[in-house]
Structure 1
Amino acid sequence: MIKYIAYCRKSTDEKDKQVLSIEAQIAELKEFAKRENLTITEFITEAKTAKVPGREQFAEVLKKIEKGMANAILSWHPDRLARNSIDGGKIIYLLDTGKLLDLKFPSFWFENTPQGKFMLSIPFYQEIRNHFKAVASADPTQPTHLS
């Protein structure tokens, strides 16, 4: 049986850019789970940026997956889970090891295949791309590198 942890996150550094509040994400995930006949074991919420690793509630989700308390994650969009390579890599590693069987998103299609993992990595690494663009636009004469 596939057991989903529903994870909802709202960034603390982009207040004016947030598409959905945590409450709106919860409502949408409940509706999506009902429509798709998904079993949600619990909702975990967090108000913190995902640009850097170290989110406590996200770590709790991964811990529960590793312990077998759940084996799937339901979230509004992949960028709610990760916007950095470390957290994105942890999700993909759990998929590779079979501890994480599925990811579901109302706003993004995912299939647990090599192609699906590649497509999943795009939103995870979007922040890195944004960093390169910001550095390049600040001084186009300087080489662009990750700081």
Structure 2
Amino acid sequence: VKEFYESKTAKEPGREVFNEMLGEIEKGFASGILAWNPDRLARNSIDGGKVIYFVDTLKIVALKFPTFWFEATPQGKFMLSVAFGQAKYYTDNLRENILRGIRQKIRRGELSAKAPLGYFNEPRLRTIEPDLKTFRKVKTILEAFATSEY
């Protein structure tokens, strides 16, 4: 048993650790994958297709998840492809929702990023407020900079 820890998003194909894991399986060093959920393996069609292809060619004979049932039957492979598709949909939809929220903030004249120096993001009100610890210092520095007296 070998453990692989992937820190890159499964949204994009070409993850080094994922490809290393599939390479080990292709060479016959392993024949199964244990993962938390199918969306941890692939949120893109290329990586999802590779996993399903390896199941088809019996390079992967065991694919286990504690939260998802899988068996190497036509129905099981179909459900796995649906799970990969749902993961891709979730990622794409989340991106659209975030961009829509950013556009709405910009339309309202709000800053759509992290609060600038001297301010902080107020999580309850979802506003940007002056930071009492640093605001006056930053204001003094910027005023001096504006007059070339720094």
TM range (shorter): 0.5 to 0.7
Gaps of 5+ in 1: 1-40, 139-147
**DSSP 3-state at the match of 1:62:** helix
Specify which structure has the higher proportion of strand. Answer: 1
Give the letter for the 1:122 counterpart. V
| Higher RCO (CA 8 Å, separation ≥ 6 residues) | 1
RMSD: 1.9
How far did residue 91 of structure 1 move? 0.2
Render the CA deviation track for 1:18-68: whole Å, top value 9, x for unaligned.
Answer: xxxxxxxxxxxxxxxxxxxxxxx1111011100010110000110000000
Alignment match, 1:23? none
**DSSP 3-state at the match of 1:45:** coil
Aligned equivalent of 1:97, options 36, 57, 60: 57
Gaps of 5+ in 2: 101-150
Alignment match, 1:51? 11
Distance in 1 (CA, whole Å) between partners of 2:87 and 2:34 is 21
Please identify the structure whose Cα radius of gyration is greater: 2
- Check 1:128–1:77 CA distance in 2 against 1; reply closer, same or farther (3 A cut): closer
User: In percent, how many aligned pairs have the same letter?
Assistant: 59
Alignment match, 1:77? 37
**DSSP 3-state at the match of 2:48:** helix
Alignment match, 1:66? 26
Distance in 1 (CA, whole Å) between partners of 2:64 and 2:89 is 24
1:84–1:128 CA contact under 8 A, matched in 2: yes
